[in-house]
Chains A and B, each alone.
Chain A
Amino acid sequence: SQQGEEDPQALSIQEGENATMNCSYKTSINNLQWYRQNSGRGLVHLILIRSNEREKHSGRLRVTLDTSKKSSSLLITASRAADTASYFCATDGQGAQKLVFGQGTRLTINP
């Protein structure tokens, strides 16, 4: 079963706008990670946020984590066509030595 569930499943916005994706999970975690996947290729790590952190930034990316609600959000600001991809959250399932991925959000940036 999926630990993380992303919302929305698909998002289409205009270039320059901000994109927000949400992730909910079920069990306690050590950290939560976000990955990007371009059509049928390998995943690229975007950002890792630990359970004792509430917010983290990396360039145009901003990730928040609310452990009380078991949720996280990824904000991409000033979107570009190259941001078109699927975005996945992944949690480590404490002690399980594995990452559990959500189903992903398919983001399309329209020129």
Chain B
Amino acid sequence: KAGVTQTPRYLIKTRGQQVTLSCSPISGHRSVSWYQQTPGQGLQFLFEYFSETQRNKGNFPGRFSGRQFSNSRSEMNVSTLELGDSALYLCASSSIGPYDTQYFGPGTRLTVL
């Protein structure tokens, strides 16, 4: 099976812009989770989707949003970018959710200038 893919791998944006990141899970996986990783805060949970429904959301402002499509592919959007949004954004997929083994993608490195 192909692994989790994320696009794009690298992104440079300026403050105030918005960005959309994409994640394609492993075939058959219905759960997709998103995480933000920064040197200061570590790995922080953003949200989790299962069968197009958001089941949980982390402690992030409303500028961070996501969605999941019927084919389980997921996107996350960050509007009005701030310098502090510079991070590695990781998505992970699994069959049933965070209780199960998570398979991570390579991440999208977002730099906000």
Binding site for B on A (CB under 8 A): 2, 30-31, 33, 35, 40-45, 48, 88, 90, 92, 96-104
Q: Which of B60-91 touch A at CB < 8 Å?
A: 88, 90
Say if the beta carbon of B25 comes within 8 Å of chain A: no
| Chain B residues numbered 1-34 whose CB sits less than 8 Å from any CB in chain A | 4, 33
Q: Measured between alpha carbons, how far is A92 from B107 in the docked complex, in Å?
A: 21
| Residue from A41, A92, A99, A104 with most neighbouring chain B CB atoms (10 Å) | A99
Find chain A residues with CB under 8 A from B97 CB.
97
A40 touches B98 (CB 8 A): no
Residues of A within 8 A of B101 (CB): 33, 45, 48
Chain B nearest Cβ from A16, distance in angstroms: 29
The interface residues of chain B, by DSSP majority, are classed as: strand
Are B45 and A100 touching (Cβ within 8 A)?
Answer: yes
The answer to whether B56 and A97 touch across the interface, beta carbons within 8 angstroms, is yes
Cβ-closest chain A residue relative to B105: A42
A101 to B56, CA, bound (A): 16
Please state if B33 and A40 are interface contacts (CB–CB under 8 Å). Answer: no
Measured between alpha carbons, how far is A96 from B102 in the docked complex, in Å? 15
Say whether A33 contacts B102, CB under 8 Å.
Answer: yes
| Cβ A92 vs Cβ B98 within 8 A | yes
Q: Which residues of B contact A44 (CB under 8 A)?
A: 104
CB B44 to nearest CB in A, in angstroms, measures 8
Report Cα–Cα, A28/B98, bound state, in Å.
15
- Output the least CB separation between A38 and chain B (Å): 11
B48→A98 contact, CB < 8 A:
yes
A43 contact set on B, CB distance < 8 A: 90, 92, 102, 104
Alpha-carbon separation in the docked complex, A103 to B38 (Å): 10
Q: Are B98 and A97 in touch, CB under 8 angstroms?
A: yes
State the 4 A-B residue pairs at the shortest beta-carbon distance, nearest first. Answer: A101-B43, A42-B104, A97-B56, A43-B104
